[in-house]
C-alpha cells in the first residue's frame, strides 16, 4: 500500500499551461500518474498534449472526477489556487510553489482547517509525493524511485529527498511512498501526519525521516515516535554546522537563539529510539541494514 495517493488517484494540474506545470504535469503523466485535466482561467477548452484544460477547478472536477490537484502557479496566486481546489471538491492538494508569503500560508492553512477540514494540503514549497510505480505528483524524478517497499520516506528538503531515494534504490531497497513536506514555516502536512500514516500502512515496514534546522517539528515527531511508533525509523538532520540567525535557503530553516539546532533535534530523535545518522549516505546504509534484518 501507499499513503495519501495510489494508482486510483486522479490528478488535475493547476497551472498546466505554465512552463513548470506543463513540464512536470507531463512528466507525471509519463510516469503513469492519472493526470486527467488542467486548470488555467481563460484557457478552458484547449488542451496540453491531450490533457483537457478547464477554466476552474470546479468545472475540472465535475467533468473528470479528479480527487487530487497539483498546484504549480506563481507565489502571488498560490493561496487562491489552494482555496479554489478545496472549494472545488479536491481532497488532496500538492503545492510546489516556492516563495509564498508566510502570512498567506498561515491564513490559507487556517482557512482550510475551518472551511474544509477533510482536505489535506502537502506543501507549499515541497517536491511533492511519489508512490513508486503508482503515482507521482510533483517534481521528483520518477526514475530514482524503486517500487515495492518496504520503506516510507518523509523529508523537509527537496534535494535531500532525491538523495534518500537514490541511496535506497541504488542498494535495491524500494519505497512505499516518499513524501516531501517542504521547508516553509507553515506546512500543510507535517512529519507526524506522515509518520502516523506510515505506521498504519501494512506495507511500510521502516521509515526514513529527513529533517533540517529550524522550528520544532523534528522534536515533536520524536515525541510522537516514542509514544506511537513500533516500526524502525532512521533519521538524518541537515544543518549541524549552520550558523544561528541566518536563513539557510528555506524560509523555515533558521536557528533562533538556542532553538531549532540540528543537535537538539538529533538528540530528541535518538532519545525516542530513532537511529540518527550523520549524513545521507550513512542513513541509506543504516536503512539497508535494518531492511535486511526485517
Which residue among the candidates 24, 114, 116, 250 is catalytic per the annotation? 250
Which residue bears the cell 482555496?
A: 83
User: Which of 11, 213, 233, 276 is close enough to bind other proteins by CB under 8 A?
Assistant: 213
3-class secondary structure, 286: helix
195/230 Cα distance (integer angstroms): 11
Start-end of H helices in the chain: 19-31, 57-64, 75-87, 102-115, 158-170, 191-200, 217-228, 262-271, 280-293
Asked if residues 236 and 211 have their Cβ atoms less than 8 Å apart, the reply is yes
Question: Smallest gap, in angstroms, from Cβ of residue 135 to other proteins?
Answer: 18
233: left (phi over 0), alpha (psi -120 to 50) or beta: beta
Instruction: Note whether 144 binds other proteins by CB under 8 A.
Output: yes
Instruction: Note whether 183 binds other proteins by CB under 8 A.
Output: yes
Residue 202: CB atoms within 10 A of its CB come to 9
Q: How many CA atoms lie within 13 A of 251 on its CB side?
A: 17
Footprint of other proteins on 150-169 (CB under 8 A): 155-163, 166
- Closest by CA to 98, choosing from 249, 247, 260, is 249
- Tell me, residue by residue from 223 to 262, as one string, x for binding to other proteins by CB under 8 A and - for no binding: -------------x-xxxxxx--x-xxxxxx---x----x
Task: Decide whether 64 or 261 has the Cβ nearer to other proteins.
Answer: 261
The reply to whether 250 belongs to the active site is yes
Footprint of other proteins on 86-115 (CB under 8 A): 98-104, 106-107, 109-111, 114
Number of chain positions touching other proteins (CB under 8 A): 60
Instruction: Note whether 123 binds other proteins by CB under 8 A.
Output: no
Question: Smallest gap, in angstroms, from Cβ of residue 63 to other proteins?
Answer: 30
Instruction: Note whether 285 binds other proteins by CB under 8 A.
Output: no
DSSP-derived letter for residue 142 is G
Residues labelled as active-site residues: 250
Q: Which residues bind other proteins (CB under 8 A)?
A: 75-76, 98-104, 106-107, 109-111, 114, 127, 139-141, 144, 155-163, 166, 183, 185-186, 210, 212-213, 215-217, 220, 236, 238-243, 246, 248-253, 257, 262, 278-281
Amino acid at each position: 500500500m501507499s499513503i495519501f495517493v495510489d494508482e486510483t488517484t486522479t490528478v488535475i494540474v493547476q497551472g498546466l499551461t505554465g512552463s513548470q506545470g506543463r513540464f512536470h504535469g507531463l512528466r507525471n503523466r509519463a510516469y503513469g500518474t492519472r493526470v486527467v485535466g488542467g486548470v488555467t482561467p481563460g484557457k478552458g477548452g484547449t488542451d496540453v498534449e491531450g490533457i483537457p484544460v478547464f477554466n476552474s477547478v470546479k468545472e475540472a472536477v465535475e467533468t473528470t472526477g479528479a480527487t487530487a490537484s497539483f498546484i504549480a502557479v506563481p507565489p502571488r496566486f498560490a493561496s487562491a489556487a489552494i482555496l479554489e481546489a478545496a472549494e472545488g471538491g479536491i481532497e488532496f492538494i500538492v503545492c510546489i510553489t516556492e516563495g509564498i508569503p508566510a502570512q498567506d500560508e498561515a491564513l490559507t492553512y487556517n482557512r482550510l482547517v475551518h472551511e474544509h477540514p477533510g482536505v489535506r494540503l502537502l506543501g507549499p514549497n515541497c517536491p511533492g509525493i511519489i508512490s513508486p510505480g503508482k503515482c507521482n505528483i510533483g517534481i521528483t524524478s520518477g526514475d530514482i524511485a524503486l517500487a515495492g517497499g518496504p520503506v516510507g520516506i518523509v523529508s523537509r528538503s527537496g534535494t535531500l529527498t532525491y538523495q534518500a531515494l537514490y541511496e535506497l534504490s541504488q542498494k535495491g531497497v524500494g519505497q512505499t511512498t516518499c513524501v516531501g513536506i517542504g521547508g516553509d514555516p507553515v506546512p500543510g502536512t507535517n512529519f507526524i501526519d506522515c509518520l502516523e500514516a506510515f505506521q498504519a500502512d501494512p506495507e511500510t515496514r521502516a521509515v526514513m525521516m529527513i529533517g533540517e534546522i529550524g522550528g520544532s517539528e523534528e522534536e515533536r515527531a520524536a515525541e510522537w515516535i516514542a509514544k506511537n511508533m513500533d516500526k524502525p525509523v532512521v533519521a538524518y538532520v541537515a544543518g549541524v554546522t549552520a550558523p544561528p540567525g541566518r536563513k539557510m535557503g528555506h524560509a523555515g530553516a533558521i536557528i533562533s537563539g538556542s532553538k531549532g539546532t540540528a543537535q537538539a533535534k538529533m538528540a530528541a530523535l535518538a532519545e525516542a529510539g530513532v537511529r540518527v545518522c550523520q549524513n545521507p549516505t550513512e542513513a541509506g546504509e543504516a536503512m539497508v541494514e535494518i531492511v535486511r534484518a526485517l
